[in-house]
Amino acid sequence: MSQHENFKDSSSKRHLFAALSALIVAPLLPMLMGWLTVLS
């Protein structure tokens, strides 16, 4: 029950969103750097 209340808290939602975006952006970063080196 305490876990459910944590998700209602806006700060924990922000942390969850930050973790999710980090998981999505981390694999894309090397690809972006590769494109930048290819284009330049």
Using one digit for the tens of pLDDT, what is the confidence trace for 1-31? 556 665 567 888 889 999 999 999 999 999 9
Range of 16's domain?
2-39
What is the structure's pLDDT at 13?
85
Written as six digits, the tokens of 36 are: 């930048």
Written as six digits, the tokens of 25 are: 């952006």
Continuous segment of H or E residues that includes residue 27: helix 10-39
What is the structure's pLDDT at 4?
62
What is the structure's pLDDT at 21?
93
Q: Per the structure, how many domains does the chain have? A: 1
Q: How far apart are the first and last CA of the chain?
A: 53
Cα angle, residue 32 at apex, residues 30 and 34 outer, rounded to 5°? 70
